[in-house]
Amino acid sequence: GDVDYVDAGHGHARLLRGATGQELLPQRSAPIGIFPDSQFLAGKARLEPGDSLVVFSDGLLDLRPDLATKEVKLPNEARRAASAQEMVDILAHGARDKELFDDVTVLALKRL
């Protein structure tokens, strides 16, 4: 399936190819509100069966500083999750048990 997206300064999205590959979404724009006349570029990605798209807020980086560098792959356990919900549960594990100063939002889509 095809996915159209706009990344307005977010940058925390990973396209997982099966259980092993990982890509960053290439098309990015400036953050919303920085420039008054900003133009936002739309990108396209294709999800093949078994691929996943994971988007998360910077609050997840407070919980999981191991993910702070964009080149760092998501943990193997999350990449091999059987469902999108399992992937979210693995990545956000411990969010309810810690005092956090930011929201922790994780969205995962998995093409069956």
For the chain, domains (ranges, CATH) are 2-110 (3.60.40.10)
| Tokens 């259980």, residue located | 19
Confidence at residue 26, expressed as pLDDT on a 0 to 100 scale: 87
| Greater model confidence, 15 or 60 | 15
Which helix (H) or strand (E) segment holds residue 45: the answer is: strand 42-46
Tens-place pLDDT, residues 34-87? 999 888 999 999 999 999 999 998 888 888 888 877 677 888 899 999 999 999
Asked whether the predicted pLDDT for residue 89 surpasses 90, the reply is: yes
> Taken in order 18, 23, 29, 31, is the CA torsion positive or negative?
positive
Residue 39 CB coordination number (10 Å): 7
- pLDDT tens across 18-35, in order? 878 999 888 888 888 899
Question: Which of 2, 7, 3 is CA-nearest to residue 41?
Answer: 7
Under a CB-based contact definition with an 8 Å cutoff, are residues 9 and 25 in contact?
A: no
pLDDT for position 1: 93
pLDDT at residue 106, rounded to an integer: 92
